[in-house]
Chains A and B, each alone.
Chain A
Amino acid sequence: MPKSTDDRLTIQRLGGLGGFSLPGSHIKSGGELALSTLSPADVKALDALFSGSAKSAAAVKPDGFTYRLTRTVGGAPKTIDVPEGQVPMAVRNAVKDTLA
């Protein structure tokens, strides 16, 4: 489990063919993890995504997932939306799909 607020990454997975986590959707998809459990490479990749310096990738593809990532830096939460292809595998693997 995450150790502190600043260490927490909250993940929400949206869209896909099934329209996960959308208004009215019965399927909720998400999870959370402690940033301290990620590899240095994954943390670096996340830092780049949150800073906006990550190499621009293609837009979300038809039926592709979007990941809504939230982390708290200095007490202020920051949220970004990222196409699945840019999300580190360890973060993708922290997601679970559940029925509402």
Chain B
Amino acid sequence: MHEISLTVNGQVERATVAAGMTLLELLRDRLHLTGTKEGCGIGECGACTVLLDGLPVTACLVLAVETDGCDVRTIEGEATAGRLSALQQAFIDAGAIQCGFCTPGMVMSARALLERNPNPSDEEIVEAIAGNLCRCTGYEAILHAVRLAAGRLQGREASDGGRLLARDGEANSAPDRGEGGGR
């Protein structure tokens, strides 16, 4: 057994763990932070994405013992003082959440992106979340949410001009990739 000490969402956590325990198991089973999900267990789906020393990793392929002395951030740490982050609010506003199971991993990947690159191009956004599988949304609204968050954090609106800001209830379609279809 190994004694480890790590920071999780700003709090110091101490644990005694077997070498074979993954960070995902530590978070979910030991620390009861169930926001981080298991989708495949082999690092292919991104549902378990957390930030390890600021870098997005799949927690299913990190051993708890490897995180001794490290800083871990999960979805539970994204909102602060009871307020949603701009990124979380953008996900809501953009309609980027359906069943929600991929959402924590998506938000963490996007969070890491915006921290290393506050003004990402569309291609950079795609690259950042391409390791997060989603079966419900078709990704478009998620890409839009990240664009929107980046824009808001930079003090400007997203450049698409319309879909998620539909005040008039019109059924609009995809921005940025060409004109929409409308009704």
Q: Do A and B come from one complex?
A: no
